[in-house]
Amino acid sequence: MRTEDYRSHVTEPCRIGQHATCIGATPIRHVGTARTEALPCTCACHQATDKAGLWLVSRETHPRVAREAWAKGLPATLRAGIHFDAVHIPATLVEHAIPVPRDRDAIEHHFRTAGITTAVLISRRQDRYSILVPPDTANTWNVPGTHCLGSTHHTNYLATPPPTRHEPPGAHWLLPAPEGEHQLCPPDTIRTLLNRRAPAVARPSWTTSPP
């Protein structure tokens, strides 16, 4: 599903990762108590998001810890190098090739036209993109100015925002979180993205009148 499909009808709590407080969630009351809880929404966008969340934590030792962090709207610390690696790219390396104004639509378009349609997140300070790629990519990744986090690194943890978080504040997904390995980004498409150059600026052609 495209990112703009999420943004078109996801409520504000879901945009910031507090999925259980969405007005589309179903409230339930515990028998004999005054306590109530909210069940997650069942609309199509939330079902897709839940699939991504399930897959992202599927090989974690303590998946419940990650899901509890997401339920509070906080990033979860997931291990790279198991079912995905992560390529970290400074924002300047990507955005220098995007014409002004560099708004979100322009940045999304830049990624999509390079063949990248999922698995891209933005850091809290919006100064770094992290793209999830197939495991073992780090073993051969050698693109200058970037870094690939994988199983060979001593600290191979990735702060991962809730799959429902598509807007700031905080780290968020520029393009939808992957629901499986088939939605991880092929490394070659990242090279294509980074090899793009800024569009040439048309210069006015000045003419002079003959004397």
pLDDT 10s digits, 19-63 = 555 544 544 444 555 554 445 455 544 555 578 999 999 999 998
Print the domain residue range for 120: 3-194
On whether residue 48 sits in a domain, the answer given is yes
pLDDT 10s digits, 127-182 = 999 999 999 999 999 999 999 999 988 789 999 999 988 889 899 999 999 999 99
CA atoms within 13 A on the CB side of 135: 13
Domain count for the chain, please give it. Answer: 1
On whether residue 199 sits in a domain, the answer given is no
- pTM comes to 0.74
Contacts of 155 (CB under 8 A, 6+ apart): none
Output the six-digit token pair for 57: 């934590």
